[in-house]
Every structure is written in structure tokens, then in C-alpha cells.
Structure 1
Amino acid sequence: MAASIYWALIGNFIISLAKFAAGFLTNSASMISEGYHSLSDTINQVLLVIGIKRSERKPDKRHPFGYSQAQFFWGFIVAIMIFGLAGGLSFVHGFEKLFEPHPSVVGQDYLIVYVILVISFIIEGFVLNKAYKEVRALQQRKEFASMMKTLENMGDPALLTILIEDSLALIGIVIAFVATLLTDITHDVSFDGLGSVLIGLVLMVGGLILARENKSYLIGRAIRRKDQEKIVAIINESEYVKEVTDLRSMLLGPDDMIISLEVDFDDNLDTEDIEKLIDELESAIIKVYPTLSKRKIFIEPN
């Protein structure tokens, strides 16, 4: 995951400088909006790196289950940045361009805009392809039925953000290209302002989608049903287990979770036998989910 973030960080920083330069040289609102977008993405990647680094801190007395959920918090902040900084500024800038006096653009050379947009499309496509390959690998590793199911249950805010950001980036580049082309052909800068407004709206929608996903994890989201069924099956493999009467879980981060189970054990087991069996069951779960630890598995006799 770190590889995709760093590629995106470097690419977006270079692209943002080029877009702003072209935007100010040609007075293109769509291009300046794209500059806001790429600058926002650059800042977002820095925030994602901070989130990943903080999530790797070891558990302590104040946070006995670790800091994995820090990724969801920073992912939510990134969503706000996409909505407010990139989307809001683009929308306002385009709206102003639509209603301000329109200077003549006859003879304006937009070649630099076209070149930078094409280069940006190639770079963003390269980064998106890397993120997509990581999502496909995650789908195969966790045996998700489809790409949509993978996106809904991946539990990796950094990877999800990169995927959404670069998808929005490609959409924004296409809008900016079309808006610039229409402005170039018709000499009417209303198309340029409209392109900026549309880019802003696309970014706002993307920010809301990302915020919704991170909110779901922040307030406590259960692990997917397939994993719940797998854990119950592991417990039921023991001949001394009569039934799993309850399972509660919460996703803490990528490959990190808390599991609480109520189990109906054989009536012939005494307290010492049950404690020993619980320890064996916890080890069996960790064998299947090696990123877990016994401090995050709670098995209680019913």
C-alpha cells in the first residue's frame, strides 16, 4: 500500500505545479480547478502516510487495542479535504468565472493546457493502475466475490482513498480537456467556467462517498459475514463445543479486528478444562488470522 501512496504523492505534486502554471498562463478556470484538485491530493497523501504511521504504534495503557483506527480518522479528514478544499474551491472559482465579464480569448494558445492534461492523464492512469492491481490482489487474498464487494468490505482507507482520488482525477482531466477544447473552438469562456463547476461537483460527490465509508468504520463496523462464519466454523470444530450462541466483532483496520464470542461448552467440562480449551480455540483462530492477537479475542462460556 505504501508504494501506491508514494507514487501518488510524487505524481500529484508535480502535476499540481504544472496545472497551476498552465492555468495562470492561460487564465483557464478548469485548469486552475485541476490544480486545486492535484494540490489537495498531494496534501491528502501526506495525511494518509501520517495515518498509516500512527496506526502502526504499539498498544499501550491508553489504547490497549492499538492505533489501527487512526487510518479511518485520517481517511475521514482526507474526505473533508476533497469535498471542501478541492471541490469547494473549484466550484466557487468556476461559478465566479461564469458570471464575471468575459475577456476575449481570440488568439489564446491552449497548447500548453492540452499537453499538461494529456501528461497528467498518463500519470494518473499509471497510479490508478497500481492501486487497481493492489485491490485485485486483495480481492483474491480475501476471496471477495466481486470488485464491488471488495470496495465495500476492504477495510483499507488508504487504498480506497487512492483508488477514489485517482478515479476522480481522470474524470476531472477529461472534463477540463473538453471544457478547454470548447472554449478554444467557440472563444466562449463560459465553457471553461462550467468545466470548473463540474469538476467541483464531481470532487464533492467523491468526498461524500469517501466520508461515508470512513464514518462507517469509525463508529464501529462488524467484520464481513464470511469471516464471521469462518470463525464460528473454527470454534465448532472442537468436539467439546455444543454451540456458538453469539458473535460480536468490530473492524479496527486493515486485517485487524476485535472478536467476542459466547460459547456453549460441554457440560462435563470443569473450569480448568474450559480455560484450557478457550486458549486452544484462540490459537486456532490466530492460525487462520495471523494478524490477530489473543488480547483481541474474547471467548466467554455461555
Structure 2
Amino acid sequence: MAGHAGSKRVIYAALAGNLAIALTKFAAALFTGSSAMLSEGVHSLVDTGALLLYGMHRAARPADHTHPLGHGRELYFWSFIVALLVFALGAGVSFYEGIIHIMTPEPVVNAKVNYVVLALSFLFEGSSWLVALKEFRRQKGRQGWLEAVRRSKDPSVYTVLFEDSAALLGLMVAFAGILSAELLEIPELDGLGSIGIAIILGATAIFLARESKGLLLGEPASPEVQRKVLAIAGQDPAVQQANGILSVHIGPEEIVAGLSIEFEDHLTAPDIEACVERLEARLKEEMPQITRLFVKPQATGTWELRRRAIAEAAGED
């Protein structure tokens, strides 16, 4: 729950003031005729923190007869929609505006208005970025930045971080485009700034979509989590050997795990059932993220054959 609280805090920080910033940018674009400022207004308008909050709300619903494993992947779905929106609305509109402004250039008037709006936007976006950065650094621990993103099962924090990073870069590009267009008296440079913003948003959207796709298709629990589950299973006196584990994330803190266990030969069916109940109770206490546990009695040799078959199939892909 602490992780969800941190994620929501990051999203609320990103949403704070974004609508006001978007309206201010649109007003400045209308007043000055700047294409780059219009692109920045669109970027702020498509800020998708609200969709992430909606996804978190939907994902928190309990399991039912149509979704027996829960609704955790709703967050992953809405994260993917966020990436599509950033690409289609943010990058698409910015690129279109840039092309139009290059083909039919118009000089920027009252450029100082744009500079004031850009400075205020940078201040607010920077504050949101710092909140997201602090939370992401807390979550990543000693991992590298890209490694932490790839291994993260909670897209809400790094999505906001990358969006805010793209926003800050976009503000710099918009400033450069407007300033160069004014100083050099080449209005096409303002349109070029819009295209630069489109490239930044497009690259961000592609990266986020790639990460969301992996989560939607199903990613396993981290090696540390898998080792801990196997260690707990192996400590039970009824277990001769915990062969291996197949796991998949249904949500950031929801893991479905299947254990292959070789039980002691003398055990009866009630003994095995009691062992499984003990394992479920201990995992619920020590690893609450394991929301579903399935145990398959299996000889070590059988598990090894299955593991090799899975590894070979993954290698062919």
C-alpha cells in the first residue's frame, strides 16, 4: 500500500496546475501566434495523470467470477493508452502544427508573453518532475536507471517521470525555437521547434508503449522474489525439494505463482494438503504480494524437462 500511496502522490503532483498551465499556453499561442507554444499547450492538455489514477482505481477492484485473478492489469492497459495518447495527440498535433507553420510562416508577436509563460511552466513542471524523481529513486534502490524501468512492475511513477522529462525538454526546445525565430527573423524556426517537440514526445511514447506491452503480456516476478518463495517452500518438513517456480505479475503488487514441489515419498494426500495450506499461510504473512499460489507435485526430473522446453522455446522466439 505504501507503494500505491507514493505513486498517487507523484500523479497528483503532476496533475496540480497542469490544466491552468495548458490554458495559459493556449492563450499565449493565440495572442502571439507561436506554433511551438501551441504545441506546448497540446502537450500540457494531454497530460495523462488522470488516466493513470483511473487505472489504479480500476485495478484495485477485487476478483470476481469474470476476472478470478483480479483486475490488476487494468493499470497496465491504461498505461498503454497513455503512451498512445502522448504519441497520437502530443506528437501528432505538434508535428502537424510545425509543418503548417513552416509552409505558411507567420512572425511571432509579443514574444515576451511566451517567455513568461515558458518560465512559469518550467517552474511548475520542474516541481512535479522532482517529486516523481524522488519517488523513482526510492523505488529503484541501487539499480541503474534503465534497469530499474525495465524491471519495474509499477508503470505509474516512471510514466510520470518520463512525461515530465519530455515536458521540460519540450519547453527548452520551444524557447529555443521562439527565441531564434525572433532574433534571426526566420519564423520557420518556430515551426521547427514544434517538430522538435513532436520528436521528443514520439520517442517518449514509443519507449512507454514498449514497457507497457511487456507488462500487459505478462512479466515474471523478480529473481529475488522467486528465490525467496523457493526458500520458504524448501524449509517445510514435508517438502523434499522445491524444484522451481513459474510466476506472472497481475499488478505491481500482485503475483500469481505456480510451484513445482517434490514431496516426501511417505506423505498421504491429507499431508500434502496440509503442507500447501502451511505454505499459503506463510507466504501470505511474509510475502503478501503473492496473491495466488498453485502447487504441483512433481518429480525433479519432470520439472527439469519442462524448464528446458520453456528455455528452448524462449530462445527460438
**Fold similarity call, TM over 0.5:** yes
Match of 1:26 in 2: 32
Q: Which runs of no fewer than 5 residues in structure 1 stay unpaired?
A: none
C-alpha distance in structure 1 between counterparts of 2:254 and 2:190, whole Å: 46
Shift of 1:146: 3.1
User: What corresponds to 1:269 in structure 2?
Assistant: 267
Structure-2 separation of matches of 1:160 and 1:104: 38
Equivalent of residue 301 in structure 1, options 294, 297, 300: 297
For residues 273-292 of structure 1, the aligned pairs below 5 Å read: 273-292=271-290
Q: Which residue does 1:258 correspond to in 2?
A: 256
SS of match in other structure, 1:7: helix
Contact 2:255 2:289 in 1 (8 A): no
Alpha-carbon shift at residue 230 of structure 1 (Å): 1.8
Deviations 1:42-101 (A, max 9, x none): xx122112111111111111111111110011111111000000110001110111111x
2:90 paired with 1:74: no
Instruction: Point out the more displaced range, 245-254 or 195-204.
Output: 245-254
Q: Does the 8 Å contact 1:11/1:124 carry over to 2?
A: no
CA contact (8 A) 1:255 1:291 kept: yes
Aligned amino acid, residue 129 of structure 2: L
C-alpha separation in 1, matches of 2:86 and 2:252: 22
Equivalent residues in 2 for 1:62-211, closer than 5 Å: 62-100=66-104, 102-105=105-108, 108-140=109-141, 145-211=143-209
Task: For residues 184-240 of structure 1, give each alpha carbon's deviation from its aligned partner in whole angstroms, at most 9, with x where no partner exists.
Answer: 211111110111001011101111111111111111111122211221122122243
Q: Report if the CA contact (8 A) 1:37-1:169 is conserved.
A: yes
Q: Give the distance between the partners of 1:148 and 1:104, measured in 2 at CA.
A: 41
Number of corresponding residues = 292
Return 5+ residue gaps in structure 2 as ranges. 1-6, 299-317
Distance 1:199 1:243 in 2: 56
- Cα 1:73–1:273 shift into 2, 3 Å: same
d(CA) in 2 for partners of 1:225, 1:292:
14
Deviation at 1:104, TM superposition (A): 4.5
C-alpha RMSD of the superposition:
1.5
Residues 22, 41 of structure 2: 8 Å contact kept: yes
- Percent identity, aligned pairs only? 35
> In terms of mean alpha carbon deviation, does 145-154 or 182-191 score higher?
145-154
How far residue 244 of structure 1 moved from its aligned partner, in angstroms, is 2.2
Cα gap change, 1:231 to 1:54, in 2 (>3 Å) = same
TM-score between both structures, scaled by the size of structure 2: 0.88
